[in-house]
Amino acid sequence: MPRAKPPLQLPRSPLILVLAQVKISPVMAIEDRIPELQEVFRKRGYPRLSHRKIESSFHGPDGQVAPAETQHQWEFINKAGTTSILVDKNGLTYQISEYTVFENLITDMRVALELFTKHVEPDLVQRIGLRYVDLVVPMEGKEISSYFSEGLRGFRIVETDDREAFFFESVCRTGANSKFIHRYVEAARGFGFPPDLLPISLNLRRDPMLTSTFGLLDLDHHVQVNEDFSIESVISQFEFLHDYQSRAFEASVTPEAIAEWKQP
């Protein structure tokens, strides 16, 4: 699906992370496929491999805590530490911290999906998600208010309101089975990164531990499906998700901010 307009070229982009995720019906024997995946991904420029275990538990209706479940994840990382392919029994997540344009991301994602499909043979695709995380730190002499649209930043009770922290979130449906989550965090200092994305193995453009004012824009668009796995169908869904992402980003930031980020 061709773009409605050319992509934004932002040499000073505030974007620090993009995730493209495909969830499938579980493949419990995924661990047996890891040696094959490691070999093909290694040859494609992902020589580093990280394995981690995630313990999860939940409280039942009677207050009792269910036994912890251990989930294994394998992350194939490029030499520069700027791109990775995260694999577990529920699918694949492509992550990049040095993003250029969507077309490049989707080309790399297609290759990853082709290799994953060949060696894992997924049956059903259940969820497709695309997430963009921008971290904005004002240039010297500028205020954070000059970067984001007024409606995103709420309102001040009085003109001298000295805001230390602010959080905004909206959830809207973009289709029968798709949902867009729009989050904005503003703070005078602190950790400028979504906690649910930790741990992060990639090198980020900017250190998220900040001692000055920042704005964190988190755009998360996903669609729930239940259909036979098809790479072409998945790519088509990513194009739909991205179109809304682009419009949401441009509506969230000011023309002044875009002009600054366009500077070489």
Domain ranges (residues) in the chain: 15-261
| C-alpha dist (Å) from residue 84 to 47, 87, 226, 235 | 10, 10, 26, 18
Whether 218 shows a pLDDT value over 80: the answer reads yes
List of residues 6+ apart from 49 with CB closer than 8 A: 38, 42, 74, 75, 76, 77
Do residues 87 and 76 touch, judged by C-beta distance below 8 A? yes
Closest listed residue to residue 144, CA positions, set 259, 257, 261? 257
pLDDT tens string 58-97: 666 666 666 667 889 999 999 999 999 999 999 999 999 9
pLDDT at residue number 57: 63
Q: What is the pLDDT of residues 39-63, one digit of tens each?
A: 999 999 999 999 999 887 666 666 6
Which two structure tokens, joined as six digits, stand for 183?
A: 């989050």
Neighbours of 240 (CB within 10 A): 17
